[in-house]
Structure 1
Amino acid sequence: MFNGRHFDRLVILLCVRWYLAYNLSLRDLEEIMAERGIHVDHSTLHRRVVHFAPLLLERFNRRKRPVTGKWPVDETHVRVRSRWMYLYRAVESVGRG
């Protein structure tokens, strides 16, 4: 997957991750990498994002846990300004059998 690339695979993954996760522009990433001593052009970063983002998404989706629609709710009431009010909160049931 990373054979024949000019930059180390960790640099590539870091740039792709930051671009996808933090709403950074490619020029912002170019500047951030330059501050760290890695000189890379924004067009190179764009090619890496276009190439690696679908591959990473496929790998992440394979390892992702299924999401269930069940959330148990605890019903409690608390006193707010001399009045009893209901407080609903969702309780995650991970690890409960």
Structure 2
Amino acid sequence: MKSQAVPFENRWTNGEHARQWHRELERLGVQNVRTMFCEHETRHGEDRAVVFDIPSGFVRDWLAFHDRQTARQQLVWRGSVIALGLIAASGAVLGLLK
């Protein structure tokens, strides 16, 4: 069976460590990890690990990956709303002209 790589680029590790860290962060969820990361950066910035043994750089890359995904989803949603709005507006204008 081919091993799966994490879906984002990171400078910290690869292989089994990265997959384990990625699974653990996914299990915790974006909002929980973001809260833990903020608390780590404000109070324990000198510590290497944020969550269990996961380095802060890996967590930062993971959060950036999820932020990019969210931004991409919002862009698609906004584009869809604008396109549907233009179709509705042109339909209304054509209806008034007839």
TM-score band (shorter)?
0.3 to 0.5
The structure with more strand, counted as a fraction of residues: 1
Say which one has the larger Rg.
Answer: 1
User: Which structure: greater helix fraction?
Assistant: 2
Structure 1 length as normaliser, TM-score? 0.33
- TM-score after normalising by structure 2: 0.33
